[in-house]
């Protein structure tokens, strides 16, 4: 019956922002990463296909609300503010924020004494942290915060000395230290949890994703994916 099954299988449109390795990134012209594998594994359990759409991070929630995408899987932190708008699954990953600088400049204390130019991805929790703690407090002038759509451009600007530091999720910063001449000089303990998100009230889909996450945790598949992408 596999023919009948696949003929009627559902495709969910999954929104992500694919400059966030190792959660979602482009390799060989394909979307790959921990999040991509995760949603595909859940699809295998429940018999749905996924179509990945790469959207700017701050457009993900609006796209969910207008029905352009069905699910957000983007290393998105569960926050109270976002929870007022969308429905999140149970957490599937934990992270803090990192302060990332050019390699070899981690011990260069001048960066602490001058007013650094700090990069973030627009609309992320890193953006929020810098805005609340450094801009709104008056410590840094507004112009010192540079917002980027993708981390590809942000990392490039850091390496090219257009930025002094980048604030981003620690697992992603860790990954960039392996592929780019950058290093981590500090961790900001924000205690974030990642969840997938669906449109408010989409109960059946939410339940399926929650059950799927639990099943992958219980079967050891989740650990396998962690091993694959983080070791």
Do strands 30-32 and 118-121 pair parallel, antiparallel, or not at all (unpaired)? unpaired
Span near ligand ARG by CB under 6 A; candidates 71-79, 200-208, 210-218, 222-230? 71-79
**Nearer to ligand ARG by C-beta: 45 or 128?**
128
With binding defined as CB under 6 A, does residue 170 bind ligand ARG? no
Task: Report d(CA 54, CA 135) in Å as an integer.
Answer: 29
Stretch binding ligand ARG (CB under 6 A), from 72-80, 153-161, 173-181, 214-222: 72-80
Which pair of structure tokens corresponds to residue 85?
A: 């708008």
Q: Are 40 and 77 in contact (CB under 8 A)?
A: no
CA angle 61, 86, 229 (to 5 degrees): 70
Phi, psi angle pair for 13, to nearest 5°: -90, 120
User: Which range in 69-77, 112-120, 140-148, 207-215 contacts ligand ARG by CB under 6 A?
Assistant: 69-77
Could you tell me the smallest distance in angstroms from the CB atom of residue 78 to ligand ARG?
Answer: 8
Size of residue set near ligand ARG by CB under 6 A? 14
Report the C-alpha gap between 165 and 120 in whole angstroms: 9
The DSSP letter of residue 57 is G
Residue 166 within binding range of ligand ARG, rule CB under 6 A: no
- Please report whether residue 76 would count as binding ligand ARG according to CB under 6 A: yes
Find the DSSP H helices in the chain: 2-7, 34-46, 60-65, 80-83, 110-113, 125-130, 151-159, 170-179, 203-219, 221-230
**Chain CA centroid to CA 63, Å:** 16
Is position 37 an interface residue for ligand ARG (rule: CB under 6 A)?
no
- Name the residue nearer to ligand ARG (CB basis): 12 or 88: 88
**What is the C-alpha separation between 123 and 147, in angstroms, rounded?**
9
71 belongs to the binding site for ligand ARG (CB under 6 A): no
Residue selected from 12, 15, 17, 175 as contacting ligand ARG according to rule CB under 6 A? 17
Residue 172 CB, shortest distance to ligand ARG, in Å, is 8
Return the range that interacts with ligand ARG (CB under 6 A); candidates 75-83, 129-137, 152-160, 223-231: 75-83
Whole-angstrom Cα Rg for the chain: 19
For ligand ARG, the binding residues (CB under 6 A) are: 16-17, 20, 24, 57, 74-77, 121, 124-125, 169, 192
């Amino acid at each position: 019956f596999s023919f009948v099954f696949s003929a009627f299988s559902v495709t969910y449109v999954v929104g992500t922002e694919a400059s966030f390795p190792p959660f979602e990134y482009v390799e060989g012209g394909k979307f790959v990463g921990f999040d991509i594998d995760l949603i595909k594994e859940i699809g295998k359990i429940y018999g749905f296909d996924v179509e990945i759409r790469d959207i700017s991070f701050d457009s993900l929630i609006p796209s969910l609300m207008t029905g352009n995408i069905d699910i957000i899987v983007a290393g998105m932190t569960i926050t109270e503010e976002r929870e007022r708008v969308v429905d999140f699954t149970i957490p599937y990953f934990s992270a803090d924020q990192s302060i990332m600088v050019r390699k070899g400049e981690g011990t260069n204390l001048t960066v602490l004494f001058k007013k650094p130019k700090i990069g973030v991805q627009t609309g992320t929790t890193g953006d929020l942290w810098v805005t609340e703690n450094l801009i709104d407090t008056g410590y840094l002038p507004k112009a010192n915060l540079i917002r980027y759509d993708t981390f590809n451009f942000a990392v490039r600007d850091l390496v090219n000395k257009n930025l002094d530091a980048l604030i981003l999720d620690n697992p992603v910063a860790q990954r960039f230290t392996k592929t780019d001449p950058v290093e981590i000089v500090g961790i900001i303990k924000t205690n974030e949890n990642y969840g997938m998100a669906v449109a408010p009230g989409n109960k059946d889909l939410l339940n399926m994703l929650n059950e799927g996450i639990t099943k992958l945790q219980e079967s050891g598949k989740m650990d396998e994916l962690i091993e694959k992408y983080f070791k």
